[in-house]
Amino acid sequence: MLTTISPMHFVVLSAALFAIGLFGAITKKNAITVLICIELMLSAVNINLVAFNMFVTPEAFIGQIFAIFVITVAAAEIGVGLAIMLTIYRNKLSVDLDDFDWMKW
């Protein structure tokens, strides 16, 4: 187990990274940190995709291409996300998520 690397290792690694990212996304006050943590979670997913690409369909490149799209979407997401944060910050002078309880209307 320590010496041979199986898909399981990558899956567990990705799960751990995802968990850390989720923990941060839920427990951090700063909105930008939350965005960072979402990037962590997306990266965890990418590890999974690439790992399975290697172990299941090495010739078809499905996992890698999926990962490329995930990276694309992540880039777009962080761009728009940061723009939204910026706008909110301009209006409310804060990016502390505890200051915002707008999701109840």
Partner 1 sequence: MVSLSAAAFWLLALTILGAALLVVMSKNIVHSVLWLIVVFLGIAGVFLMLGAKFLAAIQILVYAGAVCIMVVFGVMLTQREDMSKSNIFNKRMLTAAPVVGLLLVVSGTLAFKSVDKAPVNGGSVPTNTVEAIGELLLSKYVVPFEVAAILLLVALIGAVFLSMEVKPDADND
Partner 2 sequence: MVEFAMNHTWLVPLLPALSFLIIIFFTRPWPRLSSTVSIAFMLSSFAVATLAAYGVFTDAQFKHEPLVYAIRWFGMEGLNIDVGVLLGPSSAMMIFMVTLVASLIQIYSTGYMKGDPGYSVFFSYLSLFAASMLGLIISSNLLQLFVFWELVGLCSYLLIGFYTHKNSAREAAKKAFITTRIGDFGMLLGMLAIQIIFGTLNLYELGQIMPNFEDYTTAGMMTLIAVLLFIGPIGKSGQFPLHVWLPDAMEGPTPVSALIHAATMVVAGVYLVGRTMFLFVEVESAMYLIAVVGAFTAFFAATIAVTQREIKRILAYSTVSQLGYMMLALGVGSLTASFFHLWTHAFFKALMFLGAGSVLHALHHKADVWDMGGLIKKMPITGWTFVIGGLAIAGIPPFAGFWSKDEILLATFNEGHYLLFTLGAVTAFLTAFYIWRMIFLTFFGEEKPDNHPHESPLSMTIPLIVLAVMATVGGLIGTPMNPHWQEWIFFGESHHIVPNIPIMLVSIALAAAGIGLAYVLYIKDRNKANVKDLAIRFKPVYTLLYNKYYMDEMYLWFNHKVVDGSARMTHLFDIYVVDGIVNGLGAVTKGTGGILRYTQNGKIQSYALVFFLAVLVITILLAFNDTTSMALVLGGVSK
Among the listed residues 100, 84, 91, the one whose alpha carbon sits nearest the alpha carbon of residue 32: 84
Residue 95 interacts with partner 1 (CB under 8 A): yes or no: yes
How many angstroms separate the CA atoms of 12 and 17, rounded?
9
Q: State the binding partner of 105 from partner 2, partner 1, none, CB within 5 to 8 A by kind.
A: partner 2
3 binds, among partner 2, partner 1, none (CB under 5 to 8 A by kind): partner 1
Contact (CB, 8 A) for 71 and 46 = yes
**C-beta neighbour count of 18 within 10 angstroms:** 18
Residue ranges in 24-83 that form contacts with partner 1 under rule CB under 8 A: 24, 26-30, 32-33, 35-37, 39-40, 43, 46-47, 50-51, 53-56, 58-59, 61, 64-65, 67-69, 71-80, 82-83
Binding of partner 1 by 100 (CB under 8 A): no
37: left (phi over 0), alpha (psi -120 to 50) or beta: alpha
Residues near partner 2, by CB under 8 A: 22, 25-27, 34, 97-98, 100-105
